[in-house]
Amino acid sequence: MCGIIGYLGYRDAYPILINGLKKLEYRGYDSSGIAVFYENGYTLYKSKGKVNELKKKISSIQIKGTTGIGHTRWATHGGPDDVNAHPHVSNSNELILIHNGIIENYHAIKIILLKNGFTFKSKTDTEVLVNLIEFIKKKNKLSLEEAVRISLNEIVGAYSIAIVEKYHPERIVIAKLGSPLALGINEREFFIASDPIPFLDYTKNVIYLKDGEMAILRKGEELDLRKIVDNHKLSPIIQELQINLKEIEKGEYKYFMLKEIYEQPKTILDTLRGRLTDGLIWINGVESNKNIFINAKCITIVACGSSWNAGLIGEYLLEELARIPVEVEYASEFRYRNPILEKKDTIVIVISQSGETADTLSALKLAKKKGVFVFGICNVVGSSIARNVDAGAYTHAGPEIGVASTKAFTAQIAVLVLLALKIGKYRLSLTEYRYNHLCQEFGLIPEKVNRTLEMIENDIEKIAKAYYNVNNFLYLGRGINFPVALEGALKLKEISYIHAEGYPAAEMKHGPIALIDENMPVVIIATKKGCYEKIIGNIQEIKARKGKIISIVNEGDVQVSMLSDYVIKIPNISEELSPLLTVIPLQLLAYQIAFIRGENVDQPRNLAKSVTVE
């Protein structure tokens, strides 16, 4: 979850590192640090807090050197402070390391090192790793790269690392297992980062290290890529990135989250482009595995967080349109509960924005080990999930910088709609009329999302001003909009720190109704085609207990509007496609409340964008 960066070349390293860390803060912002190397020495600074605190600390200091490494932290082992911040230094002060991931057997290694005279300043697993490398290097009189390779073969856990030796600043050794690591290559220089965004200004040529690979970067020399397990030399595969720099800038918006909410008409259109044309749906990963989808007897969707909520919507879609039984699993539970997966006629769908989510990646590997066909839905090209699935579909949402997912979520739903329609067409579980009607409506979704944003802005602002100071919210939905209620509650919790819960509306009377009083705002998704009469009954139950009703309704609604304290209107749409519209006001409401409360919308406390540790 942490962000790492490094540079080896001919430019001053410090500006590259500090600017790169700013772009990586979505991965963690508890503390940060840099080390810049010169001949026979280095300058190292660390600071608790965000990268700006580090920048202030060293603003008046000239830092020279063309080799450097940096880190922005999401705390795992040890609290967020200057001592636990990276980079970490070995006992001799000769090895300097940054690390993303968790070393699971660090305690056992630490005991061995303590018995051999090593001391520790921090509570991190990273300081244990850098001293293990030093111990093996000195005891066996090895080169740095060989000591790193042997040490990593003793490690249990996940890591992406970069390490530099004090007296050899012309060389950086990097390695990866389970945590992402991208290597940018330009003439006479190398860029290291957790993702390519920090070095897009300099190069679009990138190598994504695979699990179990390490690389030795030497100034002025070709890349040396190897297998960690046996030192076997590999031929690197260089990819050219297609990211536009404007996609990772806020532009006129105060926060990335707001920008990304308003980008959704475009990102959904990009997800549909080339896949939905004149009633025809084309998904390469499905077309090339047609018989697997036709003959599937069950589907298991595995994901975390907002992607899990998208998976729940996928369950409704696939069961309704393709008539295949679907189970939705939390990846963190799936991998530990010995799931029943039949090799024949079973499909596992894994969903992840980053394509690096540790629990989801482990679930993928478990399914593959059992011989099950795995289909991936993710946003990041070349990510670990994208490389390991049997087939899949990219969402094409573009870089999502705000920690709270918005456009990636709706892009995932769009792919799931395509998938359900396509499989339903294959399996003849849809009438020709229904299929064509939904395809036609689906093509209008980007325009309707744009119209929704135009319609709701003023209403959302009024509601946010009325309720920004409450302690609790309740979100209710039925059918395919129950997962939308979950997502709305999650968004509010993530960025405003107001306690919120999502429930199926009919379940309210089985417990949550005890919480309702005149101080409890209740957000109800009350579209006309989704158990509308039943929803009206639920609203009456809330009003009888003086709860405050905020309803999301279709244009032209009368009954629910009359019963509500606040009404948010969205365009009319088929129920199967409605989550793509109903979630928009919930995203914007969470944003507006957090903004009024003065919270950092893009970097909510304790969270990180890409969860690459368990």
Active-site annotation, residues: 2, 609
The position carrying tokens 């609290």 is 79
144, β-bridge pairs: none
Tokens read off for 387? 């490389």
CA dihedral 570, 264, 309, 365 (to 10 degrees): 160
Tokens read off for 522? 């209740």
One-character DSSP codes across 383-424:
-HHHHHSSEEEE-------SSS-SHHHHHHHHHHHHHHHHHH
| Residue 65 amino acid letter | G
> Residue 564: exposed, middle, or buried by beta-carbon count in 10 A (0-12, 13-18, 19+)?
buried
Q: Which residue stretches of 427-566 are H helix?
A: 432-443, 445-467, 482-496, 532-543, 559-563
CA angle 84–86–88, rounded 5-degree value: 90
CA angle 48–14–182, rounded 5-degree value: 85
* Cβ pair 361, 178 in contact under 8 A: yes
Question: Cα(422)–Cα(435) distance, rounded to whole angstroms?
Answer: 9
Among candidates 542, 449, 457, which has minimal Cα distance to 503? 542
* Cβ pair 607, 494 in contact under 8 A: yes
Enter the DSSP assignment of 178.
B
Question: Cα(521)–Cα(269) distance, rounded to whole angstroms?
Answer: 34
Question: Cα(279)–Cα(138) distance, rounded to whole angstroms?
Answer: 67
Instruction: State the number of CA atoms in the 13 A half-sphere of 507 facing the CB.
Output: 12
Instruction: State the number of CA atoms in the 13 A half-sphere of 133 facing the CB.
Output: 30
| Strand locations in 168-212 (E) | 168-177, 182-186, 189-193, 205-208
Instruction: Give the three-class secondary structure for 379.
Output: coil
| Residue 462 amino acid letter | K
Among candidates 548, 514, 257, 525, which has minimal Cα distance to 407? 257
* Cβ pair 357, 612 in contact under 8 A: yes
What are the angstrom distances between the C-alpha of 277 and each of 265, 271, 346, 418?
17, 12, 29, 12
What are the angstrom distances between the C-alpha of 273 and each of 238, 446, 568?
26, 11, 30
Tokens read off for 578? 């409605």
What residues contact residue 78 under an 8 Å CB cut-off, 6+ apart? 84, 122, 123, 124
